[in-house]
Structure 1
């Protein structure tokens, strides 16, 4: 299926479902939907960082310290977190990500808003990132990541999630 055709739940400011729409329409009209963000660490505690491919619908070519994506219609945040982490990392048998917090991200440039469910998982499996999603990746220490925050173009929603996570 074309990603733009995936059906999403459209939600209100309290995260209650108020309708459904294809992803492409939700993005084009700025309809509030749901997303899962997963902070992935290796057994040494380093954080999986990647650059999104230039073909992504949202924030193409930007760096991200979370894997994840939209929550499908009728899908739970927990199920979406596990699905997205396994898909983007190219692994199978990952433990269920542990929920950390949820927040409403509102794009300051009018690109819409989404409820963002942030969780964390440790991956001790060899990763084979999904080529259509990720064109570069590495596991970085927190210090290595933070030294790059002002140098690399990051997805703004991941910066917002990371700021909440680290209380920056």
Structure 2
């Protein structure tokens, strides 16, 4: 573990209620310390072959450091829309040139005894090379769905991303 401070603990976030209506604002460190409900955008990135971008988060991440994730994304800043946050976070974390237009899929409320946030799930196709942000990503690869499914039981995953992927698979598997 590094001695450096976690990333983005002073970023201001909208605090929302159980209906995803803004009820206030607070710094990220307060939001997490006091389990205040906020917003997050998750983006499943696929390459031209349909493989999924998978990565291991850095040890400096404020939440779920050093775990694997099949989504890029992050918190929605104060006054920011889910769509804007998804495009910003995907471009930053993937290190891609040009604008991205993630496609919204669904939203759900993620709640555990430690965390609570509204999660907006998106998908985007990446046609060019990725240059993941070293402050966010320690390791990355594009995996087929079969390869990813095999790793689900082998690697330690961020729990919110794991839940989002489980829900995405449920929606995708419906006739």
How high is the TM-score relative to the length of structure 2? 0.92
Q: Distance in 2 between matches of 1:103 and 1:7?
A: 22
- SS of 2:9's equivalent in the other structure is helix
Q: Distance in 2 between matches of 1:71 and 1:15?
A: 12
- SS of 1:153's equivalent in the other structure is coil
CA drift of 1:93 comes to: 1.2
1:89 is matched with: 94
1:41 is matched with: 46
- SS of 2:96's equivalent in the other structure is coil
CA drift of 1:112 comes to: 1.8
CA drift of 1:95 comes to: 2.9
Write out aligned runs for 1:54-93 (5 A): 54-93=59-98
- SS of 2:56's equivalent in the other structure is strand
Q: Which runs of 5+ in 2 are unaligned?
A: 1-6
CA drift of 1:129 comes to: 0.3
User: Are residue 162 (structure 1) and residue 165 (structure 2) matched?
Assistant: yes
Preserved contact between residue 110 and residue 117 of structure 2 (Cα < 8 Å): yes
Q: Distance in 2 between matches of 1:8 and 1:91?
A: 25
Q: Distance in 2 between matches of 1:159 and 1:134?
A: 17
Q: Distance in 2 between matches of 1:86 and 1:121?
A: 10
Preserved contact between residue 94 and residue 123 of structure 1 (Cα < 8 Å): no
How many pairs were matched up? Answer: 165
1:137 is matched with: 140
Q: Distance in 1 between matches of 2:17 and 2:97?
A: 33
How high is the TM-score relative to the length of structure 1? 0.96
Q: Which runs of 5+ in 1 are unaligned?
A: none
User: Are residue 113 (structure 1) and residue 116 (structure 2) matched?
Assistant: yes
1:52 is matched with: 57
CA drift of 1:91 comes to: 1.2
